[in-house]
Amino acid sequence: QALLFDILEQHLNALLKRLQSIRDEEPGQRLQAMLREILLAYRGADDEHRLQINALGQLPGDEQARLKACQREIVELMRQAIVDAGPVELGRDRRKLNATTMSVFGMLNWFYMWNRDDSEEARIDYADLVGNLLQGGFSGVVQAPVSLTDMPQRRSG
């Protein structure tokens, strides 16, 4: 259990520090930088993701609490970036804001499940696509510099 805790704590704290270091002044650029940093931090961390999803509950309560507190800080940084970059109304609607924030993490956290291209470029392109979707809706995706057809996809089965 100690090893599991150390692995997860190191993974989450490294991600938190990367996100805290982003200082872009313009809100949209800050959001985009955060999306990129998350996907770049996730590169090579598939095993840590699986541990986080499947084994966190096996840890003692105090260790779970510490890791969950770090997760909440990461989520709060993303939530604030979305508030700053998004329409004012979104920041006023807690339920929609929470749903939007968790949807962003869903898009980022499951990238490794369908994408075969582990390159930095593929991660940046996908982060940019997610950012364009957030800030521009479907028209933002159309304007994204990358096409999903350019990204190799895992084949099921």
- From CA 23, how far away is CA 37, in angstroms rounded? 12
- From CA 81, how far away is CA 104, in angstroms rounded? 11
- From CA 70, how far away is CA 66, in angstroms rounded? 6
Structure tokens given for 73: 């800080």
Neighbour tally for 134: CB within 10 Å: 22
Give the residue among 6, 39, 76, 110 at the shortest CA–CA distance from 84.
76
Neighbour tally for 11: CB within 10 Å: 20
Kindly give the interhelix angle for 27-42 and 120-142, rounded to the nearest 10 degrees: 140
Please give the average pLDDT of every successive group of 10 residues along the chain, which has 157 residues. 91 96 91 97 86 87 96 97 94 93 94 88 94 85 57 48
Q: What is the pLDDT of residue 141?
A: 67
- State the residue for tokens 């075969």: 116
Question: 2-150 belongs to which homologous superfamily?
Answer: Tetracycline Repressor, domain 2 (1.10.357.10)
What are the helix (H) ranges across the chain?
A: 2-20, 27-42, 46-54, 61-85, 88-92, 94-109, 111-114, 120-142
Beta bridge partners of residue 153, listed in sequence order: 115
Q: What is the pLDDT of residue 145?
A: 61
Amino acid residing at 84: D
